A and B are shown apart, each in its own frame.
Chain A
Amino acid sequence: MKTIFEKSRPGRSTAYLPPPAEGEPPISSLLPEKSLRARPPALPEVSELEIVRHFTELSHRTFSIDGNFYPLGSCTMKYNPRINEKVAHLPGFAKLHPLQPADTVQGMLELMWSLERMLAEVAGMDAVSLQPAAGAQGELTGILCIRARQNELGQAGRTEVLIPDSAHGTNPATSTLAGYRSVSVKSNARGGVDLGDLKAKLSERTAAMMITNPSTLGLFEEEIRAISDLVHGAGGLMYMDGANMNAIQGKARPGDFGIDVMHFNLHKTFSTPHGGGGPGSGPVACKKSLEPFLPVPRIARDGDRFRFDSAAPKSIGKVKSFWGNVGMHVRAYTYLRFHGPEGIRRNAEHAVLNANYLLSRVRKAYKLAYGRVCMHEFVLDGTPFAKKHGVRTLDIAKRLLDYRFHPPTIYFPLIVHEALMIEPTETESKETLDAFADALLQIAEEAKKTPELVTKAPHTMPVKRLNEVKAAKEPNVRWCSPCDPPPPPE
């Protein structure tokens, strides 16, 4: 397929504004010549019809929840309800300028305030900030709050953050960004935190532990109380990566099992669209002791009036411009109000039911990394296929594309070699789960009988396997006209 630049013809662009009226001053009389660019940016010139066809064709080359089962582990690819989109586009939300006076946005502020209260209840926490733009930014916000709190207590000597070896890469990256040293804690044979190793690594240098519960293995941390007691006992605080809240919403609350601060991923648990990789939204929820450090402004309520309040001297400051990804707040609010307490709990129950059912269907052909009842996702270990048939997890993933399924997350968590991490979510039907299980079982057969079919997959996509080494060695990250001279080597 051509890029839009190859479809461009000089003079073809659509005029959206009338030409300047008679007698309007030339731009050169309003802006100094030296501030003006010499050459216009080489944007494409195409008709509106060509634009529509171009993006329609691009959409056809994009796997999505709307088109395909998408069991990407750790990403909670559930149905994105259309009511959410409709509501977010209401002019009373979409057309608001973020700096309008508070009196003109009372509905918006009340919605955000209510969403904060609902998230606090789901988390079992006291206070929430909606400001972080995504999960990773929520992590940074939470860790900076911990840092500010410990500095206030005169504990600046706490320089380490403990992180289980099964954690998302964002956890150690966040801890570095916030000025901490990451210390990895081993997992035990059941996939939980190894308490012995945890004890060995706790010290007066421990600032916090970042934990994911349920873990990235799809397992509830059975010793969570003991873990948080140990960390608290050493003077550290507990951060929870809320990526997997979909499994426990309405069943258990982080605030009740010893977590001090956590983030939600609204694009996972509360169905806001993933959009091809963002926007996310990563609200942070915390206990009373950390509330003074949350980003400003907070939303304050005086009787039935709402306003932004920046008077928080201990706050870590702002982490994002304005008030966060508000359009995502509107969608998540809508989702929570549609479900109510009963619906939210049922989501967790059926997410876990679907995952365990799918696991029961594929278990005879695939090795389960940790042999326990799973929560909302499970991790398979493809090592036997690699050893016996030379078929790697990557090959299985690519072969799934020929069956029109998006592959699971692969090669993560890092502690499982050849990992396939599968999260079906609650919104899939038994028929879809059966069809996916049948495909996985079929591929297991293919791996034995016709391994080439699998290792050369995909066979039915618009492109075959792509040369990633070339892409990284000779990076070309923008389109250049063939007439342009080639960029000089680095």
Chain B
Amino acid sequence: MDYIQNTPADAAEMLRSIGVPSIDALFSSIPEAVRLGRPLDLPPALSEQDLLSHLQSIAARNRTFDAGRCFLGAGAYNHFVPSVVDALFSRGEFLSAYTPYQAEASQGTLQHIFEFQTMVCELTGMDVSNASHYDGATALQEAVALSIDKTERRKVVLSSAVNPQYRAVVKSLFRPLGIQVAEVAHVRGVTPPATLREAGEGAACLVVQNPNVFGCLEDLPAVSEAARSAGALAVASVNPVSLALLRPPGDCGFDLAVGEAQALGIEMGFGGPWAGFIAARKEHLRGMPGRIVGETVDLDGKRGFVLTLQAREQHIRREKASSNICTNQALMALRATIYLETLGPAGLRRVAETCVRRAHGLAERLARVPGIKVSWSAPFFHEFVVEVPHPEPFLARLLERGILGGLPLNPPYRDLREHVLVCCTERNSEADLDAFAGAAAEALKT
């Protein structure tokens, strides 16, 4: 099966026009010795109806949970997606366009990216944003790279309360280059700014996450102060939904704010594709990685949008480019854009507030379950840590009751052996919280 339109008669006519006897003759530049002399060993083709049944049977072997019974977060969040997001996202014009190299024919793409950049700036309190990045982890990696370029220092400092996946991605690029990646341990769920300050001597940047991987709020003004006194850049990885309520990094003296846009109308989809974002103070604009859309005018003075500051990028600067990124995540950023514009400031605030209320409601309920302890006392957004004896069997028992109960923190946190990270969003109703608490009590009895 295929989507080829050429009929045998077309092909014959085309070959005549080219002046070769067969399609095979067009492959004569491939030396005989390296040609594949057999069919590929792939499963046979399926008709569309058989293919759909096949894929449906694979999908059926994955377990989906009732929207309200998912309490798993840790970087992937189960939010409600308004119908209008899918409807507009599915338009073929958005789906099947590419990078807007020809601005006159791509004003639609350019404008929706410009609107995305504007809202990222608004949420983070920063001056400038790029067109999106692969994901939150690689956005952080790029922010660290920018800090290293800017300060010409070869050490970076990350809080241990930054999502371990994000830290792993930072390490896999910089450690082989001989950049020192130091970590500052959290204390009861938060990062002590004084320790950061000490570790930050000679560092290119200090990195925290807010809310951090445990859901706790960091003292952002103190962190940026620590960075400033160490001569390092302050970098925050932030949850965009939380920014409807929380003080943005831009208001707290940070240089760079990065994050993951998945929570903004993008399905969890087993981890991707999502979209990262990178926002910064304007002095960093020319050091930013990736595509950036700017406003300009056409020959008649009419407003229009273009890809701008391309002299930073790999297709111009080649080995001197600060990043190798080519594509961004435009289609996923489009989802975030539609989501944010649909909800508006009041809608996003209501989502954020509901997340906070549900998480606190669940923490309160779980604290009353014998055998469960809510760890730490730091303020938290929509995730928190509880201690239960033997987390794995506990979570397995919840799973039997249709509840995705959270994430054991060991590994990667070896010292957090009985600790489980629990998340709530607006999708968990009060009744779901009761069900969780009830099932947890049951699970601990058996």
| Contact residues, B12-46 vs A (CB, 8 A) | 13-15, 17-20, 23, 26-31, 33-36, 39-46
A83 within 8 Å of B by Cβ? yes
| Contact residues, A421-476 vs B (CB, 8 A) | 426-430, 458, 461-468, 470-472, 475-476
**Which A residues lie within 8 Å of B329 (CB)?**
275, 278-279
B56 within 8 Å of A by Cβ? yes
Stretch at the interface among B153-161, B200-208, B270-278, B368-376: B270-278
A220 within 8 Å of B by Cβ? yes
B367 within 8 Å of A by Cβ? no
Evaluate contact between B6 and A397: CB separation under 8 angstroms.
Answer: no
B253 within 8 Å of A by Cβ? no
How many Å from the CB of B105 to the closest CB on chain A? Answer: 4
Q: A5-B118, A321-B135 are in contact. Are A96 and B30 (CB under 8 A)?
A: no
**Which A residues lie within 8 Å of B165 (CB)?**
318, 321-322
Q: A45-B345, A96-B268 are in contact. Are A461 and B105 (CB under 8 A)?
A: yes
Encode contact with B along A75-88: 1 for CB under 8 Å, 0 otherwise: 10111110101111
**Which B residues lie within 8 Å of A467 (CB)?**
296-299
Q: Which residue of A lies closest to B356 (CB)?
A: A30
Evaluate contact between B17 and A133: CB separation under 8 angstroms.
Answer: no
**Which B residues lie within 8 Å of A327 (CB)?**
267, 269-270, 272-273
| Contact residues, B256-273 vs A (CB, 8 A) | 260, 267-273
Q: How far is the CA of A342 from the CA of B4 in the complex (A)?
A: 12
Evaluate contact between B27 and A251: CB separation under 8 angstroms.
Answer: yes
Q: How far is the CA of A151 from the CA of B121 in the complex (A)?
A: 42
Interface size range of chain B in the complex? 35 or more
Q: A66-B92, A80-B96, A148-B176 are in contact. Are A41 and B326 (CB under 8 A)?
A: no
**Which B residues lie within 8 Å of A157 (CB)?**
none
B255 within 8 Å of A by Cβ? no
- In the complex, which of the residues B104, B122, B348 contacts A465, with contact meaning CB atoms closer than 8 Å? B104
- In the complex, which of the residues A42, A55, A250, A479 contacts B36, with contact meaning CB atoms closer than 8 Å? A250
Encode contact with B along A391-432: 1 for CB under 8 Å, 0 otherwise: 000000110010000110100100000000000001111100
- In the complex, which of the residues B11, B31, B244, B354 contacts A222, with contact meaning CB atoms closer than 8 Å? B31
**Which A residues lie within 8 Å of B103 (CB)?**
463, 466
**Which B residues lie within 8 Å of A257 (CB)?**
34
Q: How far is the CA of A466 from the CA of B163 in the complex (A)?
A: 42
Q: Which of A4, A14, A121, A467 has the most CB of B within 10 A?
A: A4
Q: A15-B347, A173-B323, A340-B43 are in contact. Are A277 and B99 (CB under 8 A)?
A: yes
- In the complex, which of the residues A59, A224, A249, A324 contacts B31, with contact meaning CB atoms closer than 8 Å? A224
A144 within 8 Å of B by Cβ? yes
**Which A residues lie within 8 Å of B151 (CB)?**
none
Q: Which residue of B lies closest to A316 (CB)?
A: B172
Q: How far is the CA of A124 from the CA of B42 in the complex (A)?
A: 12
Evaluate contact between B3 and A79: CB separation under 8 angstroms.
Answer: yes
Q: A1-B111, A41-B345 are in contact. Are A93 and B59 (CB under 8 A)?
A: yes
Q: List 15 A-B contacts (CB under 8 A).
A: A13-B346, A13-B347, A34-B247, A61-B107, A137-B134, A267-B327, A278-B328, A354-B6, A360-B19, A468-B296, A470-B296, A471-B294, A471-B306, A476-B295, A477-B293
Complex A-B, nearest 5 residue pairs according to Cβ-Cβ distance, in ascending order: A92-B59, A275-B331, A13-B344, A322-B271, A340-B45
